[in-house]
Amino acid sequence: MQHSEFVRKYKNNEISVHIDKNAAGFFYQSKGFMPEHLRRKQTMTRAFGLGGLIGGAALFFFTKWYIALIVLVIGLSFFPKAQKKAAEGVLEASLEYPEIFEYASSNNVLRISEA
């Protein structure tokens, strides 16, 4: 399927698109591949998750255990959000950039089925 056909069919709801959430995160590793605004969103989401883990672990030594546990759980909750945002970003970039669409579809990160 060509990129223009993909965009047209997606906007007309003629196809269904599935993004592999686990593989989508690897698109953000190479600087310059994904658009910068999407890379920033992904970086911030991962930073909040990592900050929550580190902060929650450190708080066990300085505050009540339940406060540290709450911060730890909140930090952990950011990792599924990061996966979801990565998948949404790959779809958004695939709609805008033909080279990302080609790479995602050829590596089975983006799978298309008829609606």
Asked if the model's pLDDT at residue 30 lies above 80, the reply is no
| pLDDT score recorded for residue 29 | 83
Domains of the chain: total: 1
| Torsions phi, psi for 61 (to 5 deg) | -90, -15
| Torsions phi, psi for 76 (to 5 deg) | -65, -30
Domain enclosing residue 76, as ranges: 3-114
Average pLDDT over residues 76-94: 94
pTM: predicted TM-score of the whole model, two decimal places: 0.83
pLDDT, tens digit (0-9, with 9 covering 90-100), for 9-21: 999 999 999 999 9
Rounded distance between C-alpha atoms, residue 34 and residue 97, angstroms: 9
Rounded distance between C-alpha atoms, residue 68 and residue 49, angstroms: 14
Average pLDDT over residues 69-88: 95
